[in-house]
């Protein structure tokens, strides 16, 4: 678990990212804040597209930004939606996370004011297809 100061920083970054959401089709903005192993926080928002399949979720935006800048080890992610009930990452985001996240990495789910729940990554996707599977000896 992270200390309260870091969680507050994640909330702030996710809230700012939420404001940048481009979600004209779903009207469901999402913001994310990804903490890397160096302590840097990467923000991301969902960016929708009229062809739907080209839409990118907030979690993947944050991961892709960080990886494109050379950061590939993560300590936590916070996902924020403007709803009272927490919204976990979709299956596609969870699968992308499998490439970079340890099973015990915390995933925080928040509304615009507070963390509502938290999970270990492995609780959200217990059997990911990923590097460990591909490199496993047969």
For residues 14 and 109, what is the distance between their CA atoms, to the nearest angstrom?
11
What is the set of domains in the chain, with CATH numbers? 4-135 (3.40.140.10)
Q: Which single residue is written with the structure tokens 């960016």?
A: 47
| pLDDT higher than threshold 50 for residue 51 | yes
Name the pTM for this structure: 0.93
| pLDDT higher than threshold 50 for residue 138 | no
| pLDDT higher than threshold 90 for residue 131 | no
pLDDT band of residue 14 (cuts 50, 70, 90) is very high
Q: What is the CB-side half-sphere exposure of residue 40 using CA atoms within 13 A? A: 13
Tens digits of per-residue pLDDT, 53-93? 999 999 999 999 999 999 999 999 999 999 999 899 999 99
For residues 132 and 99, what is the distance between their CA atoms, to the nearest angstrom?
9
The answer to whether 77 and 66 are in contact (CB under 8 A) is no
**Which one from 5, 59, 73, 84 is the annotated catalytic residue?**
59
Active site residue 59: yes
The answer to whether 76 and 107 are in contact (CB under 8 A) is yes
For residues 90 and 6, what is the distance between their CA atoms, to the nearest angstrom?
24
């Amino acid at each position: 678990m992270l200390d309260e100061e870091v969680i507050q920083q994640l909330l702030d970054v996710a809230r700012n990212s939420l404001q940048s959401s481009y979600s004209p089709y779903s009207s469901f903005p999402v913001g994310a804040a990804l903490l890397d192993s160096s302590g840097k926080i990467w923000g991301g928002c969902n960016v929708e597209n009229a062809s739907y399949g080209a839409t990118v979720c907030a979690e993947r935006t944050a991961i892709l930004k960080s990886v494109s800048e050379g950061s590939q080890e993560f300590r936590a992610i916070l996902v924020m939606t403007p709803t009272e009930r927490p919204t976990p990452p979709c299956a596609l985001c969870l699968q992308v996370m499998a490439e970079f996240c340890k099973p015990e990495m915390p995933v925080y789910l928040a509304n615009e004011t507070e963390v509502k729940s938290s999970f270990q990554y492995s609780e959200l996707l217990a059997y990911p297809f990923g590097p460990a599977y591909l490199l496993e000896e047969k």
